[in-house]
Amino acid sequence: GAGVSQTPSNKVTEKGKYVELRCDPISGHTALYWYRQSLGQGPEFLIYFQGTGAADDSGLPNDRFFAVRPEGSVSTLKIQRTERGDSAVYLCASSRGTGGDGEQYFGPGTRLTVT
């Protein structure tokens, strides 16, 4: 079956612009996660959705970052007034449930470059 998909695969934007990154989880997966992976580092947690609600947004670095999942499926990560430090690969993952043993399936990521 189809895995997690993310669009676009690459995004180049100018400093100060607004960007949206999209994630399509595996069908039927209720949990959705966003992570950010900077060059040479491991992924860092940003936000977790259970259904439509953000159950944990403690990883969002500041109020320029926001994410939604209005119908409990597709999610959009939104970044306002982008800065060069936002350049990274943004990863999305989904899993069936909320249990700690729920395997997360990762998408290929969106590489964001802020010039």
Residues of the shown chain interacting with another protein in the complex, contacts defined by CB under 8 A: 3-4, 31, 33, 35, 40-45, 48, 50, 55-56, 59, 91, 93, 95, 98-104, 106-109
Q: Which one-letter DSSP state was computed for residue 72?
A: S
Distance between CA atoms of residues 100 and 23, nearest Å: 22
Q: How far is the CB of 85 from another protein (least distance, A)?
A: 18
Which residue number, 36 or 82, has a Cβ lying nearer to another protein? 36
Q: How far is the CB of 50 from another protein (least distance, A)?
A: 6
Q: Which residues, other chains included, contact 110 with Cβ-Cβ below 8 Å and sequence gap of 6+? A: 6, 7, 8, 9, 10, 11, 21, 89, 90
Q: Which of 86, 10, 97, 91 is nearest to 44 (CA)?
A: 91
Q: How far is the CB of 104 from another protein (least distance, A)?
A: 6
Take residue 31 and report the two structure tokens written for it: 């949990």
Which residue number, 70 or 100, has a Cβ lying nearer to another protein? 100
Q: How far is the CB of 106 from another protein (least distance, A)?
A: 4
